[in-house]
């Protein structure tokens, strides 16, 4: 899907992270000026190393918890793509204070700075965790439940603040509720690694991956290229589409058992031994929701969103990247 967005000056907070660095790349390819604000607490320098020689790329090392850094980064900016956050439900349960400082105080700093510097539009990463204990499927934007983790609370508060800034200060805002995003550059190591890179990493090393629960929990796994598409469309959308929140997903759901079967099948094309690796099962994680499946009708109607990559297609591209970059025999 061709999206014509060029010659703009765009700030990406958390630009050295997994999603942020992919957005940097996509926007640079379209001849935009990209400013990356990151403190490298979770972002990686190697994610943006290829961009440092690009005259259209600027790195600002700073922290969204510091208003001065936010004001500096938003100066003379057309658009903000706010990706900076402390992700992970388990991390928020173990350290709710830092999660709150980054995800709420940092978010508010970015809204204030964007207002002060007259940014044209502020598009931010919301989260499917906002649906909380709602059992309705598919998830529709106007029907949420009670949050199940500190992380979910912070992301819901982001939506409330964004709504107030839109109504009170006329700042154009769009929130994108990400559903289990995966793809190249996603960290495969560490205590808070997401499930897909974690599984790929284990299988490539011929180590048994552990599924939390019995494998019947389901997710709307969303390939990074779909997320890039909806972010760029959000920058281009008309006034009718602003001050709203959208599901950013593929619009399907697969169980963790489904996911594992596809991963083993696709990875066995690189190493047949992977097919024989045993899968372990553990306890369900505290704060996790059992099922997640997004309705993307609202994004289709108002943003012209049309996700191009299914779970299997996205996994094929991701596996190729991990195989070439992690280099396991």
Residue at 277 is within a domain? no
- Which domain does 235 fall in, by range? 9-181+222-251+294-309
Q: Quick check: helix, strand or coil at residue 276? A: helix
- How far apart CA 148 and CA 184 sit, in angstroms, is 29
Whether 214 contacts 165, CB under 8 Å: no
Residue at 273 is within a domain? no
- The predicted-structure confidence for 222-269, as pLDDT tens digits, reads as follows 999 999 999 999 999 999 999 999 999 999 999 999 999 999 999 999
**Nearest of 218, 228, 269, 276 to residue 248 by alpha carbon:** 228
**DSSP code string of 142-203:** T------SHHHHHHHHHHHHHHHHHHHH---EEEEEE-SEE-TT----STT--HHHHHHHHH
- Per-residue pLDDT, 329: 45
The tokens for 320 are: 């190729």
276-291: burial string, b at 16+ Cβ within 10 Å, e else = ebebeeeeeeebbbeb
CB atoms within 10 A of CB 61: 12
- Per-residue pLDDT, 328: 52
Residue at 193 is within a domain? no
Residue 166, domain CATH = 3.40.50.720
Q: Quick check: helix, strand or coil at residue 15? A: coil
Residue at 63 is within a domain? yes
- How far apart CA 210 and CA 192 sit, in angstroms, is 14
The tokens for 56 are: 């259209």
- Per-residue pLDDT, 288: 77
- Per-residue pLDDT, 327: 62
- How far apart CA 219 and CA 238 sit, in angstroms, is 31
Between the CA atoms of 3, 31, 84 and 110, what dihedral angle is there, to the nearest 10 degrees? -100
Q: Quick check: helix, strand or coil at residue 249? A: coil
Whether 175 contacts 162, CB under 8 Å: yes
- How far apart CA 140 and CA 128 sit, in angstroms, is 10
To 5 degrees, how large is the angle CA 275–CA 182–CA 88?
110
Instruction: Give how many domains the chain has, as a whole number.
Output: 1
- How far apart CA 38 and CA 281 sit, in angstroms, is 36
Bridge partners of 10? 34, 79
Which run of H or E residues covers position 100?
A: helix 96-100
- Per-residue pLDDT, 326: 79
Sites in the chain below the pLDDT cut of 70:
1, 327-329
Predicted structure pTM score = 0.96
Q: Provide CB contacts within 8 A for 19, sequence distance 6+.
A: 83, 125, 178, 181, 224, 227
């Amino acid at each position: 899907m061709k999206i014509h967005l060029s010659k703009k000056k765009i700030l990406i907070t958390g630009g050295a992270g997994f999603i942020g660095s992919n957005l940097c790349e996509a926007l640079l390819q379209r001849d935009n000026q990209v400013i990356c604000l990151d403190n490298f607490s979770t972002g990686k320098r190697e994610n943006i190393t290829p961009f440092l020689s690009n005259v259209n790329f600027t790195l600002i090392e700073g922290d969204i918890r510091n208003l001065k850094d936010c004001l500096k980064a938003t100066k003379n900016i057309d658009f903000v793509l706010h990706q900076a956050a402390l992700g992970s439900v388990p991390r928020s349960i173990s350290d709710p204070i830092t999660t709150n400082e980054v995800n709420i105080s940092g978010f508010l700093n970015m809204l204030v700075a964007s207002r002060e510097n007259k940014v044209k539009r502020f598009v931010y990463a919301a989260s499917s965790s906002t649906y909380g204990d709602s059992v309705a499927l598919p998830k529709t934007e106007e029907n949420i439940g009670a949050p199940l983790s500190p992380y979910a609370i912070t992301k819901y508060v982001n939506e409330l603040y964004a709504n107030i800034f839109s109504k009170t200060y006329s700042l154009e805002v769009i929130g994108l509720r990400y559903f289990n995003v995966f793809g190249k550059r996603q960290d495969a190591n560490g205590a808070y690694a997401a499930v897909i890179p974690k599984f790929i990493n284990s299988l490539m090393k011929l180590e048994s991956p552990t599924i939390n629960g019995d494998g019947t929990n389901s997710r709307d796994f969303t390939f990074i290229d779909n997320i890039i598409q909806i972010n760029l469309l959000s920058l281009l959308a008309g006034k009718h589409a602003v001050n709203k929140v959208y599901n950013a997903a593929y619009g399907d759901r697969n169980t963790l058992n489904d996911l594992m079967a596809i991963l083993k099948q696709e990875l066995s094309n690189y190493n047949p031994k992977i097919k024989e690796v045993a899968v372990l099962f553990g306890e369900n994680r505290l704060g996790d929701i059992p099922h997640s499946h997004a309705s993307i009708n609202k994004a289709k109607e108002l943003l012209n969103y049309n996700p191009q990559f299914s779970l299997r297609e996205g996994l094929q591209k991701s596996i190729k990247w991990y195989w070439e970059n992690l280099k396991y025999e």
